Amino acid sequence: MALLAPGSTIGILGGGQLGRMLGVAAAQLGYQIQIYAPDRESVAAQVAAHHVQAAWDDEPRLAAFAAACDAVTIEFENVPVDTVRFLSGHVAVRPGAQALEIAQDRLTEKRFVTDLGGRPAPFAAVPGRAALDAAIAAIGAPAILKTLRMGYDGKGQARLATDADADAAWDAIDRHAAILEGFVTFAHEFSVLLVRGIDGETRFWDSSVNVHAHGILATSMLPPPQIILDQQDEARGLMARIADDLDYVGVLTGEFFATDDGPIFNEMAPRVHNSGHWTIEGAVTSQFENHIRAVAGLPLGSTATTALPVTMRNLIGADIGDVPALLADDRAHVHHYGKTEVRSGRKLGHATWIGADPA
């Protein structure tokens, strides 16, 4: 495949902050960006040449979008698979529909990873309420009930302390088809971020230790504790097998639990990832630039960490009010996503410290 020449257009499906940061990286490499998203307001569109606001199933608009692009990528995993399949008949879409289809269904994802030798938490399918009782009997409690599809940052999930919580948990997820996962006793959560080129070359960034608050990533930090360093290679091996099996192109993220028995797979995201935002300043080549490089067929850049320690802190909800104080900190790199509505649980920006601890 010929490299995308400077001035070529890369289409991005989705209009959020990940698309925004991809757009900035693409512009630095000389590419035009077009955004396709149903939302009228798009923070990604603020840095793009064009914004197509249309439904995911509007085939005439999708065909016109494809005709205007030299390649297409995604910025979030809930783009309908049928949309990607339709576009793939008109333009190269990287990553492809298969990775999206697997990541969108938690049961399919767990089975896929297990077949490749990965170890997820114990799980059982819950297609209906009666199946929940059987799943609890098989998995035990405490456990967590998750909708099969959609849901992120803690949404679409309910915890069961005992089997007496079954009805409440079922109602909490609006009685959707689900998966029950057994609780995992773990020391830390960590991410494995890789980028894979069209030629199959694969590179990894250093793994961060991730701390969540209310189901939302709060901070990612390097260096991680020793237990993560000890388990990083095994987790990387699994993610490499996943990427190879899918003939994946771009950045792929896996989230893991570090346990006394080794790394336990939690979930994967076929896209750039919040836990990799530190790479903008903290790696020789950021996750966003390397994703664009991969999509465009360019050589991949070095993923080496530039300095330690690293702390990336999400600015969630009212935290965005901290921006003036953060800008007064000479060591802080501040990113505001351009969102106008401030609400609880919404990611509005992030700040990163490289080679120094936060004040």
Higher pLDDT among residues 162 and 180, named by residue: 180
pLDDT at 122: 92
Average pLDDT score over the chain: 94
d(CA 314, CA 345): 11
What pLDDT is recorded for position 154?
57
Beta-strand relationship, 310-316 and 157-160: unpaired
160 is written with which tokens?
């069961």
Separation of alpha carbons 222 and 256, rounded Å = 16
Contact in structure between 123 and 179 (CB atoms under 8 Å)? yes
* pLDDT reported for residue 155: 67
pTM of the model: 0.94
Give residue-wise pLDDT tens across range 274-304.
999 999 999 999 999 999 999 999 999 999 9
Amino acid at 49: A
Tell me phi and psi for residue 345, to 5 degrees.
85, -5
pLDDT in tens, 131-169: 888 888 889 889 899 998 875 555 688 888 888 788 888
Decide: 29 and 45 in contact? Cβ < 8 Å. Answer: no
CA angle 35, 55, 156 (to 5 degrees): 95
Measure the CA–CA gap between 281 and 357, rounded to whole angstroms: 14
- How large is the average pLDDT for residues 253-280? 97
Residue by residue, DSSP assigns 182-235 as E----SEEEEEEEEE-TT--EEEPPPPEEEEETTEEEEEEESPPHHHHHHHHHH
Q: What is the pLDDT of residues 186-242, one digit of tens each?
A: 999 999 999 999 999 999 999 999 999 988 999 999 999 999 999 999 999 999 999
Between CA 244 and CA 164 the distance in angstroms is: 43
Q: Count of alpha carbons within 13 Å of 310, Cβ hemisphere only?
A: 27
Higher pLDDT, 155 or 344: 344
Contact in structure between 338 and 43 (CB atoms under 8 Å): yes
Residues 60-94 have pLDDT tens digits of: 999 999 999 999 999 999 999 999 999 999 999 99
What is the rounded distance in angstroms from the CA atom of residue 90 to the CA atom of residue 65? 10
Look at residue 172 and tell me whether its pLDDT is greater than 60: yes
Contact predicate 326/334, CB 8 Å: yes
**DSSP H stretches of helix in the chain:** 17-28, 59-67, 81-88, 97-103, 106-115, 129-139, 166-172, 226-245, 279-282, 287-296, 323-327
Q: Is 127 helix (H, G, I), strand (E, B) or coil?
A: coil
Q: What percent of the chain has pLDDT over 70?
A: 98
- Tell which residue, 238, 245, 240, has the closest CA to residue 203: 240
Q: Which residues of 189-205 are buried (b: 16+ CB within 10 A; e: fewer)?
A: bbbbbbbbbbeeebbbb
Residue appearing with tokens 């990083």 = 232
How far apart, in whole angstroms, are the C-alpha atoms of residue 351 and residue 331? 10
CA Rg, the chain, in Å?
Answer: 20
Helical (H) or strand (E) element with 263: strand 262-269
Calpha distance 12→271 (Å, rounded): 11
CB atoms within 10 A of CB 314: 21
Q: Is the pLDDT of residue 128 over 90?
A: no
Q: How far apart are CA 43 and CA 184, in angstroms?
A: 36
Q: Can you tell me which residue has the tokens 């995993």?
A: 77
Higher pLDDT, residue 24 or 130 = 24
Predicted pLDDT of residue 152: 57
